[in-house]
């Protein structure tokens, strides 16, 4: 088979890396890919991003399955257009992708279908939004309604911070994504990332993960697209997993089918595990980044048949096998991220880093130029590792980072700290 992965980040590198391991696969094209996918055996970058060009390429190369990584093309209807062209593709349709593309749609959907989540209100102008915040107090969460590449969420600890976020978003800081905003309750507890393959009827849960959204150690600083992740997440006990399925994921899949837009793809529920159980922070309609990287590091099974079964409505009797190990990934980002950052700095030492036992490095914002590896984005590298414990996986990842020569980057030094604390207490 020839496959096509759409996207350019660490998630897409991890997906393409795993797909290329399948004995069914001849080649995996990545559009547009990055400096890592350019050098990965079995992968080939193609400099395409427009949907018509991708369709033409898939036809020309006789691509048998396309896998969509990021949310933007899903929201733009890439799945609908590929299907209309008679091409096979993994991911939800534009209508189903509204679960992520519009925070207002998603929160109203949750309320209508009894999915546990925080109270919310939607605003298109600042004065009523500020009045709402003043009435309900802080901490409180301000979100851009549209897609903002992981930068449209502010967890405001004070009224002043909430008002500044409201003024910035509605004032055009995020463009069209912030034309409307959603203000919602702050949920207290521990976050977890819960993923399930959904074929329109059946649901197959994947192993759990936990992301680190804040930029700096100690969960300080601005929200980012994710600075690291690990799997499994200890907070997702078997009981909590069953509750997340019964109270959140299955009701959503049933409701979407009743609405005439059955959900086929991977559904990502961002959860807050509270004293009363799982509460839904938000839905995403694709694999998380960097959670996908740690999931792919633990997956034993061939990913290709799982994606095909999802697309074809055959998940009912399907199962997946996972390594009984911990996987952990640390994101190396350009200084200044998630704000303004510079591109073009040189990165060295990756061969030495990848030689560390159990380590796999997935590229995000990189490109290759005259044989050199260049930083070309905000989140640049994902240094992943497996180990028998959180401590072992973490030690390997940071040992690899110590060998990477990139003075223009930064990273958190405490990825996995919650799980590590639990592991230490359990001794």
Least confident of 54-58, 190-194, 300-304: 190-194
Q: Report CA Rg, the chain.
A: 21
Question: Is 169 within 8 Å of 144 (Cβ atoms)?
Answer: yes
pLDDT of residue 234: 93
Average pLDDT for 184-200: 94
> Mean pLDDT, to the nearest integer, of 318-343?
96
177 secondary structure, DSSP code: G
pLDDT, mean of residues 98-115: 94
pLDDT of res. 425: 59
Nearest to 33 by CA among 8, 68, 2: 8
* Residue 422 reports pLDDT greater than 80: no
Q: How many CB atoms lie within 10 A of CB 253?
A: 23
Do the domains 119-185 and 190-312 sit in the same CATH topology, yes or no? no
Q: What is the pLDDT of residues 249-290, one digit of tens each?
A: 999 999 999 999 999 999 999 999 999 999 999 999 999 999
**What class, spelled out in words, does domain 119-185 have in CATH?**
alpha beta
Least confident of 44-58, 376-390, 412-426: 412-426
* In the predicted structure, residue 22 carries a pLDDT above the cut 60: yes
pLDDT at residue 152, rounded to an integer: 85
CA atoms within 13 A on the CB side of 381: 30
Instruction: Work out whether the CA dihedral 246, 247, 253, 256 comes out positive or negative.
Output: positive
Q: Which residues, at least 6 apart from 207, have a Cβ–Cβ distance to it below 8 Å?
A: 231, 232, 295, 298, 322
The pLDDT of 111-118, averaged and rounded, is 94
Which residues contact residue 220 at a Cβ distance below 8 angstroms, ignoring those fewer than 6 apart? 214
Domain ranges of the chain: 2-94, 119-185, 190-312, 326-425
Q: 326-425 architecture in CATH?
A: Alpha-Beta Complex (3.90)
CATH code 3.30.750.24 for 2-94 = no
Poorest-pLDDT segment among 13-27, 61-75, 160-174: 160-174
What does the pLDDT average to over 8-17? 98
Please give the residue that has the higher pLDDT: either 2 or 417: 2
Rounded mean pLDDT of 103-113?
Answer: 93
pLDDT (0 to 100) of residue 423: 64
Whether residue 396 has pLDDT greater than 60: yes
SS3 of 38, please? coil
Is 6 within 8 Å of 69 (Cβ atoms)? yes
* Maximum pairwise Cα distance, the chain: 59
Rounded (5°) CA angle 303-2-313: 45
CATH 3.30.160.60 fits 190-312, yes or no: no
DSSP letter at 97 equals T
């Amino acid at each position: 088979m020839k496959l096509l992965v759409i996207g350019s980040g660490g998630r897409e590198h991890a997906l393409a890396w795993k797909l290329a391991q399948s004995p069914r696969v001849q080649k995996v094209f990545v559009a547009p890919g990055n400096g890592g996918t350019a050098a990965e055996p079995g992968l080939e970058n193609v400099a395409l991003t427009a949907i018509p060009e991708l369709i033409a390429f898939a036809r020309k190369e006789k691509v048998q399955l396309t896998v969509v990584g990021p949310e933007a093309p899903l929201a733009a209807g890439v799945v609908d257009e590929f299907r209309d062209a008679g091409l096979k593709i993994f991911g939800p349709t534009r209508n189903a992708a509204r679960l992520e593309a519009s925070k207002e749609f998603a929160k109203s959907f949750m309320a209508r279908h009894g999915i546990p989540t925080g109270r919310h209100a939607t605003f298109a102008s600042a004065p009523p939004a500020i009045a709402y915040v003043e009435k309900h107090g802080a901490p409180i969460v301000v979100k851009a309604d549209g897609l903002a590449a992981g930068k449209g969420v502010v967890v405001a600890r004070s009224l002043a911070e909430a008002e500044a976020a409201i003024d910035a978003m509605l004032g055009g800081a995020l463009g069209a994504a912030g034309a409307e905003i959603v203000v919602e309750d702050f949920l207290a507890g521990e976050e977890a990332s819960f993923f399930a393959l959904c074929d329109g009827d059946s649901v197959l849960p994947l192993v759990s993960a936990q992301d680190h959204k804040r930029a700096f150690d100690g969960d300080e600083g601005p929200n980012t697209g994710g600075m690291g992740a690990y799997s499994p997440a200890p907070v997702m006990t078997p009981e909590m997993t069953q509750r997340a399925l019964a109270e959140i994921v299955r009701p959503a899949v049933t409701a979407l089918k009743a609405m005439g837009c059955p959900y086929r793809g991977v559904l990502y529920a961002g959860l807050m595990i509270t004293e009363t159980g799982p509460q839904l922070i938000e839905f995403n309609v694709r694999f998380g980044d960097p959670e996908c990287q740690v999931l792919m590091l633990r997956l034993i099974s061939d990913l290709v048949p799982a994606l095909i079964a999802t697309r074809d409505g055959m998940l009912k009797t399907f199962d997946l096998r996972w390594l009984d190990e911990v996987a952990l990934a640390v994101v190396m980002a350009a200084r200044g991220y998630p704000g303004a950052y510079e591109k073009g700095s040189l990165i060295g030492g990756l061969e030495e880093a990848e030689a560390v036992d159990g380590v796999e490095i997935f590229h995000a914002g990189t490109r290759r130029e005259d044989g050199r590896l260049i930083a070309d984005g905000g989140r640049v590298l994902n240094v992943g590792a497996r180990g028998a414990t959180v401590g072992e996986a973490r030690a390997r990842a940071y040992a690899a980072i110590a060998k990477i020569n990139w003075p223009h980057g930064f990273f958190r030094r405490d990825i996995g700290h919650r799980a590590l604390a639990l592991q230490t207490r359990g001794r």
